[in-house]
Amino acid sequence: MKVLITGAKGQLGRGLIACAPEGCDLHPVDIEDCDLTDAGAIGALLSEVSPDLVINAAAYTAVDKAESDEETALAINSGAVAALVKAHDGKLVHVSTDFVFDGAASRAYRPEDPRNPISAYGRTKAEGEKHLRDGDILVRTAWVYTAGGANFVRTMLRLMAEKPALNVVADQIGAPTWAPGLAATIWGLVDKGASGTFHHSDAGVASWYDFAVAIQEEALALGLLDKAIPVTPIPTSAYPTPARRPAFSLLDSSKTRELLQDGYTHWRENLRTMLKEEAALG
């Protein structure tokens, strides 16, 4: 099976390459290989590679910057999806986000729940979802991180080493997602011949504050940090940002787990695994 992976140098892209099934003929591409704001370039790439499967792991993910650059975000998060669908007759796997929801729910969001984004980033990702066909796969995820990537975990490690104390938002609720686990889920859905909408994040519930506290505890145990610093929970209102974030964006992954029969892994277990890998990177 010939597989084109966009966003191949990103956190998820690297995970998809690392755990690809045997026999896959991978064609990883990134920004230097194809301008995803250019529908013609996307069409030319698909014509050249002629893949059996496309996994679109590329996205404009600068949430705050999208508030003032929504046109570019829309071109990548929606226009590129439309171009991929137009140029590719086979299955497309597209990765989306919890930001397509408004965060007003009192239970985990299910795949069939209506979209109601409250930010430019969320709007552009919601528009991208609308281009998918019945036979395609949509996978929504949240709070993605991996060893060696640009993410919340590594930012916290740096700040905890540099600062005497930290304030972290405690009233945005969701669950972290370890990128290799997300990648394994995507390949599992492909193997099952799945189609439709699925959710994937690690098991459990956390605020960004909970996540930060766990990062410090686990990093201290592994020797990634020399000392503990105070971490104080604060409300979102005390840390204003250009883009609004969903206050509650937990994703219900039960449909995914039932199909794949692979069980649940708690986010703290995956965090520990990631930090061990981070320690090994030096």
Helix axes 80-87, 120-129, angle to 10 degrees: 10
Token digits of residue 199? 């959710």
CA neighbor of 137 nearest in space, from 178, 96, 100, 177: 96
pLDDT at 282 over 90: no
* pLDDT per residue as tens digits for the range 208-219: 999 999 999 999
CA neighbor of 211 nearest in space, from 143, 164, 165, 161: 143
Mean pLDDT (the chain, rounded): 97
Q: Which of 109, 121, 145, 209 is catalytic?
A: 121
* pLDDT per residue as tens digits for the range 54-91: 999 999 999 999 999 999 999 999 999 999 999 999 99
Where exactly are the structural domains of the chain?
A: 2-276
Helix axes 80-87, 39-49, angle to 10 degrees: 40
Token digits of residue 225? 């940090």
Q: Is 264 a catalytic residue?
A: no
CA neighbor of 189 nearest in space, from 136, 146, 141: 136
Q: 2-276 adopts what CATH topology? A: Rossmann fold (3.40.50)
* pLDDT per residue as tens digits for the range 119-178: 999 999 999 999 999 999 999 999 999 999 999 999 999 999 999 999 999 999 999 999
* CA-to-CA dists, residue 199 to 115, 189, 193, 202, 203, angstroms: 14, 11, 16, 10, 12
What integer pLDDT is reported at residue 83 of this predicted model? 98
What integer pLDDT is reported at residue 206 of this predicted model? 98
* pLDDT per residue as tens digits for the range 240-262: 999 999 999 999 999 999 999 99
pLDDT at 16 over 90: yes
The mean pLDDT of 106-124, rounded to a whole number, is 98
Q: What percent of the chain has pLDDT over 70?
A: 100
Q: Where are the alpha helices (DSSP H) in the chain?
A: 11-18, 39-49, 70-74, 80-87, 120-129, 152-162, 179-191, 208-222, 254-260, 267-281
What integer pLDDT is reported at residue 263 of this predicted model? 93
